[in-house]
Amino acid sequence: MTIFHRHIPSPVGPLLIAASDAGLHAVEFPENRHPVKHWSPWEPGDHAVLRETQSQLDAYFAGTLKTFDLPLAPQGTAFQEQVWTTLASIPYGSTWSYLDLANALGKPSATRAVGAANGRNPLPIVLPCHRVIGANGALTGFGGGLPTKEFLLRLEGALPATSAGTLFA
């Protein structure tokens, strides 16, 4: 299976998107804490899923898309994939704590494992791991960096807009 990829512009910097006939495999930020393992062969190129992903991401950043509708093909353990699938149930403009996410999975004692799986999400934005915050409401680690997480939550209205551009103004 050949996975095609391209870089696309976004308000949070260029994003790497990768897809095959199986679906979307990756969305990566310029500075990604846990980059997706690049399977072989990865080739620059065009694919219908890449075109649709770019179109939907453009609409998301324009504020006109709240729910993605793409074929997804993330690769992880069964538990990771269960966490990633559950991320899609966090409503646009809302946030959940790691405990909320663990409870939604029926595993309330697995908050650390849920946090680790959340951090390895290969499809950020599309599977909205940025909507998961600390139990005290604090923005916690994010593969694309906390400024990107803050930007995405402000875009969705989950955080109040601020002219200072920081939570600590």
Q: What is the CATH number of the domain that holds 139?
A: 1.10.10.10
Q: Which two tokens stand for residue 123?
A: 């499809």
52 and 84 belong to one structural domain: no
25 and 83 belong to one structural domain: no
Total domains in the chain come to: 2
| Res 165: pLDDT | 47
| Res 163: pLDDT | 46
> What one-letter code names the amino acid at 45?
G
Which residues, 6 or more positions from 159, have their beta carbon under 8 angstroms from its beta carbon? 150, 153, 167
Which segments in the chain show pLDDT lower than 70?
Answer: 32-42, 161-169
| Res 142: pLDDT | 87
- Please calculate the CA angle 116-4-88 and round it to the nearest 5 degrees: 40
3 state DSSP class of 131: helix
pLDDT digits (tens, 9 = 90+) for 99-128: 999 999 999 999 999 999 999 999 999 999
Q: Is 8 domain-assigned?
A: yes
27 and 84 belong to one structural domain: no
57 and 82 belong to one structural domain: no
| Res 167: pLDDT | 46
| Res 28: pLDDT | 92
Kindly report the pTM of this predicted structure. 0.88
Range of the domain at 82: 78-155
| Res 91: pLDDT | 96
- Taking CA atoms, 71 is separated from 24, 38, 67, 126, 146, in Å, by 6, 19, 13, 11, 28
| Res 64: pLDDT | 97
Quick one: angle between helices 78-87 and 111-119, nearest 10?
A: 80
120 among known catalytic residues = no
Active-site entry in 16, 129, 152, 159:
129
82 and 148 belong to one structural domain: yes
